[in-house]
Amino acid sequence: MALVVICGQPCSGKSKAALCLAESLKESEVKYQVRIIDEASFHLDRNESYANMPSEKNLRGVLRSEVDRSVAKDNIIIVDSLNSIKGYRYELWCLARAAGIRYCVVYCDVEENNCRKWNEERRAKGEASYNDTIFDDLVRRFERPDSRNRWDAPLFELWPHRDGIDKSCAAIVDAVSYLTKKVDSKTRDVKILQPTIATQTSRFSDANSLYELDKATQEVTNTIAEAQSQSFGGPLVGISVGKDLPTINISRPVGLPELRRMRRTFIKLTGQTSLSGPPPPSDADSAKRMFIDYLNRELGTS
Ligand SMILES: Nc1ncnc2c1ncn2[C@@H]1O[C@H](COP(=O)(O)OP(=O)(O)OP(=O)(O)O)[C@@H](O)[C@H]1O
């Protein structure tokens, strides 16, 4: 259903924001299954996890694998961690794309001085806190999210020091609305990420994979040929092959030989990606979706 990446400086109110968002989602009209994935779930100590690059990479790897295992069409996963490295947020975005779900980033924007003060207060109370060297290092390496990046969008910003954190904060209200909004073919403001050849993760059963792939792509080319015969050489826009599949948008007439050639290339490409790692589509609908994405990219109107 969705992946939410919480992001912010150390001790900036991320866990509080994650809890607040999770509660709001659970209280919304449809009772969503919401799960927070954080360091504490793996009993990972802050200071040990960020003590050096190998342990930090290990921490990120553990969280990423858990996200990968957990994202599904019927739940909302919230990753509550620093998520401060741009490349890491990109990796999480790729997981959401591979799963074909919604994605957003919630950013706790708190000035360094205030984070430091909260961290010191935590320490004074005997609660788990960052030691000063690690705190400084994390602050220095923080890569602020930028909504112009696909992997940082949409971006919901919170200012916990200025406004506090509660369910009525605009960022929480907006994130809940984005995550729970019902979508149909006319919805423009909610993006459901679509898997591509490189990110698809499941497989056709070995015995009939080629046959299924062949049949599914043939169906798409038949639909295009038929639509072209009725469009008298004009562009094809919004041609549907089936419910829940992207529409075909092609800017110029494509002859049958070219379509056949593109189909062969696509089948070959999916075979190659399965050899080098990312597997081919798992069922007829995924195959059609990927083939349509491929055609739209190669021949698209944009
Ligand atoms: N709006 C706020 N006003 C005052 N204190 C706050 C506020 N938000 C958080 N704090 C305090 O800051 C500390 C850290 O909060 P929280 O655990 O939510 O931050 P975090 O960013 O998740 O921390 P970490 O980086 O350790 O995971 C807590 O002790 C909390 O009481």
Would the CB of 8 count as within 6 Å of ligand 1?
Answer: yes
Ligand 1 center to 122 CA (angstroms): 8
Ligand 1 center to 161 CA (angstroms): 10
DSSP β-bridge partners for residue 79: 5, 37
Ligand 1 center to 13 CA (angstroms): 4
C-alpha torsion sign, points 111, 117, 121, 122: positive
What pLDDT is attached to residue 272? Answer: 53
Give the relative orientation of helices 53-70 and 86-99 as an angle to the nearest 10 degrees: 20
Burial of 213 (0-12, 13-18, 19+ CB in 10 A): buried
Would the CB of 150 count as within 6 Å of ligand 1?
Answer: no
Domains defined for the chain, CATH in brackets: 2-199 (3.40.50.300), 207-301 (no CATH)
Pairing of strands 248-250, 236-239: antiparallel
* Assembly ipTM: 0.97
What pLDDT is attached to residue 107? Answer: 98
Instruction: Work out which ligand 1 atom sits closest to the CA atom of 82.
Output: 25
What pLDDT is attached to residue 280? Answer: 58
Q: Residue whose CA is closest, atom 14 of ligand 1?
A: 11
* pLDDT, tens digit (0-9, with 9 covering 90-100), for 15-59: 999 999 999 999 988 778 999 999 988 888 889 999 998 899 889
Ligand 1 center to 17 CA (angstroms): 9
Low-confidence residues of the chain, pLDDT below 50?
201-207, 274-278
Instruction: Work out which ligand 1 atom sits closest to the CA atom of 19.
Output: 18
Identity (one letter) of the amino acid at 277?
G
Pairing of strands 33-38, 248-250: unpaired
Instruction: Work out which ligand 1 atom sits closest to the CA atom of 160.
Output: 1
Instruction: Work out which ligand 1 atom sits closest to the CA atom of 46.
Output: 26
Q: Model pTM?
A: 0.69
Question: How long a stretch of residues is the chain?
Answer: 302
Would the CB of 13 count as within 6 Å of ligand 1?
Answer: yes
Confirm if 2 and 100 have CB atoms less than 8 A apart: no
Would the CB of 281 count as within 6 Å of ligand 1?
Answer: no
What pLDDT is attached to residue 149? Answer: 92
Would the CB of 164 count as within 6 Å of ligand 1?
Answer: yes
* pLDDT, tens digit (0-9, with 9 covering 90-100), for 256-299: 888 988 888 888 777 655 443 445 566 788 888 888 988 887 88
Alpha-carbon distance of 151 to 87, in angstroms, equals 9
